[in-house]
Amino acid sequence: MTETEWLISQDPGLMLEHHRGEASRPKLRLFAVACCRRIWHLLEDERSRNAIEVVERFADGLCGDDELRSAAEQAGEAAEAAHWENRAGPIQTAAEAAAMASSEVLSSDLTMRLVETVAEAVGDQATDEDWEATWTTPGKTNEERWAAEQAIYKNAEAREKGRQADLLRCIFGNPFRPTTIDPAWLSPTVVALAQTIYDDRDFDRMPELADAPKKAGCHDADILDHCRQSGLHVRGCWVVDLIHRRS
């Protein structure tokens, strides 16, 4: 994968493959959390939601192996319960994604499976929502209805994978152009703002995180442009991490 391909890719699987062996385990976990938070509404079982919150704390070093192991077991039980309760479709698939995210050993391969599973849940939800229009509108053959349903699924899945690719760029930045931060830019205002954004998940304030370092002397285009970029910003954002984890 080239730098240009990384910057425009809509395929999180290829991006993860490129980053294999280089992505830190905490970063992979925060990416998994970000993917699962996008389907939070499908995680109907509190055990699944709790597992995602535990994974996030674990990635931040705020809980230990035993708590992660317990959460993973409960997430697995939630996924199994969805199966036996005949919740096949987006609910069961989302529960399975939460179980993957909370695995004690979150490898690149498992993360690739997770992004596929999350995208599948989104595709299943889209087809469920359009089921009546797809299958009850008169004047179409069953073959046409099936093709329409498959198109709905594939479009929703592709859109979700595009958002996952954006999440990877937010968390990992540009691996072809590693960025360092000058300690002189880490004024108390910059550090406090980065910490607040991280703690509160208030990523609407990211443009402020461009202005504050600039006033402190930062003119790094990659840092400033990312902060000003509209779209997805999540915990694990490479700029926020550069600032608040080094303070």
Is residue 187 domain-resident? yes
Is 36's pLDDT higher than 70? yes
Percent helix, percent strand, percent coil in the chain, to nearest 5: 70, 0, 30
178 part of a folded domain: no
Domain boundary, last residue among 143, 172, 201: 172
For residue 192, the surrounding DSSP H or E stretch is helix 188-200
For residue 235, the SS3 value is coil
Q: Are 39 and 97 in contact (CB under 8 A)?
A: yes
Q: What is the reported pLDDT for 247? A: 36
Give the DSSP H/E element, type plus range, for residue 130.
none
> Which residue do the tokens 């830190």 mark?
24
Query: What is the value of pTM for the model shown?
Result: 0.90
What does the pLDDT average to over 84-104? Answer: 90
Same-domain status, 27 and 47 = yes
State which residues form the domain around 189: 183-244
Confidence of residue 218 (pLDDT cuts 50, 70, 90): confident
Tens digits of residue pLDDT in 7-16: 999 999 999 9
Q: How many CB atoms lie within 10 A of CB 216?
A: 15
Residue 49, domain member (yes or no):
yes
| Total domain count, the chain | 2
> Which of 172, 205, 226 lies at the terminal end of a domain, its last residue?
172
Matching residue, tokens 């230990």:
64
Q: Is 104 helix (H, G, I), strand (E, B) or coil?
A: coil
147 and 40 in a common domain: yes
pLDDT of 98 reads: 97
Contact predicate 26/59, CB 8 Å: yes
- The mean pLDDT value for 29-49 works out to 96
How far, in Å, CA of 239 to CA of 218, rounded? 12
Q: How far apart are CA 48 and CA 232, in angstroms?
A: 23
**Per residue in 99-153, pLDDT tens?**
999 998 888 899 999 999 999 999 999 999 998 888 888 888 999 889 999 999 9
Are 26 and 124 found together in one domain?
yes
Is it the case that residue 79 has pLDDT exceeding 50? Answer: yes
Measured from the Cβ of residue 158, the count of other Cβ atoms closer than 10 Å reads: 14
For residues 71 and 166, membership in a common domain is answered with yes
Domain boundary among 172, 204, 233: 172
